[in-house]
Amino acid sequence: MTQTSLPLFEHMLYIRLVEEEIAARYGAPGQPQEMRCPVHLSIGQEATAVGVCAALTDQDHAYSTHRCHAHYLAKGGLLDPMLGEIYGKQTGCVGGRGGSMHLMDTRVGMHASIPIVSSVIPLAVGAALAMKMDGLDSLSAVFFGDGAMEEGAWHEAANFARLRALPVLFVCENNLYSVYTPLHLRQPDGALARFAQAHALPIWQADGMDVEATHTAATAAVASIRAGKGPAVMLLDTYRFREHCGPNDDDPLGYREPGELAAWHRRDPVTAQRARLIERGDATAAALDALQQRLAAEISAGFERARAAPLPGPSAAADHVYADEPA
């Protein structure tokens, strides 16, 4: 499935506006803190989520990490269950059991978000094993960061996926940092590609700040997997604009190179795509401004619904410990 450039932009813009609204409301001065769970914002990383998910079908699975907001929305997850979850409400996508790091909705193929780095990768591979055994045409896409490729679980799962030629798309979003620690302090130069090569996995590399380039690469990788050629890796360069966890700009901490954040801001995927659409004549600035206003109003209403939704009662806390059994 390929999408035209305008829907890609609209989806990115929607995610950006949701996340900026979270940031604005999260611990805003003078306001009560109503989102009482950690938030790992995807601001700056929208193009990877949207570019890849636009190449997937509803039957394809997606799996994500602690930084799952963009993946959830890009895969088709709805706003109200997402915000409900972050606000800890009954309306949350998992009823308040998970918080922001466990966004999922099986109805749209968003199967799990797991905040332990790399822990989700074998789950995606296991789903792909089941799909292949059942002769399905679907695939399993798993998002993870550069740090996950340092974990044993990635290597174990990649080896097995390649061995059995499973339909898995491994999507590495390299945002250059694990919390505050830069890539060069954690891996020798060029290691991400070599890790994939070591497992004989084909690599699709793309500018993860360019949604069209990402989408083109994802479409090719997905086609390769659907053609039965086995798993593929996408290596996408991207950048996290805010702090690892929380709503703030953390540049003053000084762990980023001087000027680095500003340089990546100049490559902002949302801004860049907007400019491209206008330049090509695909849309006018006025139309995109109107779109943004419409989305912002929708999102704002969603936040108010989440705020108004009831908290779950403590009696539900012991539900669903075991399947098929009363609490």
Candidates 14-22, 25-33, 93-101, 256-264 — which segment interacts with another protein by CB under 8 A? 93-101
Write the Ramachandran bin of 193: left for phi over 0, alpha for psi from -120 to 50, otherwise beta: alpha
Tell me if 61 contacts another protein by CB under 8 A: yes
Residue type, 164: R
Helix axes 211-224, 5-25, angle to 10 degrees: 110
Out of 73, 157, 217, 236, which residue is the one contacting another protein (CB under 8 A)?
A: 157
Candidates 33-41, 71-79, 89-97, 206-214 — which segment interacts with another protein by CB under 8 A? 89-97
Tell me the per-residue interface mask from 239 to 268 with another protein, x by CB under 8 A, - otherwise.
Answer: ------------------------------
Candidates 44-52, 71-79, 133-141, 207-215 — which segment interacts with another protein by CB under 8 A? 133-141
Helix, strand, or coil (residue 90): coil
- 88 secondary structure, DSSP code: T
Tell me if 82 contacts another protein by CB under 8 A: no
Out of 160, 204, 239, 241, which residue is the one contacting another protein (CB under 8 A)?
A: 160
Helix axes 79-86, 5-25, angle to 10 degrees: 20
Strand partners, 206: 236
Tell me if 152 contacts another protein by CB under 8 A: yes
Tell me if 108 contacts another protein by CB under 8 A: no
**Three-state SS annotation for 247-278:** CCCCHHHCCCCCCHHHHHHCCCHHHHHHHHHH
Question: CB-wise, 36 or 320, nearer to another protein?
Answer: 320
Tell me if 156 contacts another protein by CB under 8 A: yes
CB 231 within 8 A of CB 203: no
Which CA distances in Å does 12 have to 19, 173, 246, 303?
11, 16, 20, 18
Tell me if 125 contacts another protein by CB under 8 A: yes
The 10 Å Cβ neighbour count of residue 302 is 18
Instruction: Go through the chain and tell me how many residues it has.
Output: 327
Tell me if 112 contacts another protein by CB under 8 A: yes
Please, how many CA atoms are within 13 Å of residue 101, restricted to the half-sphere of its CB?
16
| Ranges within 162-181 binding another protein (CB under 8 A) | 163-164
Out of 44, 77, 98, 147, which residue is the one contacting another protein (CB under 8 A)?
A: 98
The 10 Å Cβ neighbour count of residue 47 is 34
* Residue whose tokens read 């009823």: 95
Tell me if 78 contacts another protein by CB under 8 A: no
Tell me if 135 contacts another protein by CB under 8 A: no
Compute the least distance from the CB of residue 278 to another protein, in Å: 41
Tell me if 307 contacts another protein by CB under 8 A: no
- Where do contacts with another protein occur on this chain (CB under 8 A)? 61, 93-95, 97-98, 102, 104-106, 111-112, 114, 116, 119, 121-131, 133-134, 140, 152-153, 156-157, 159-160, 163-164, 319-324
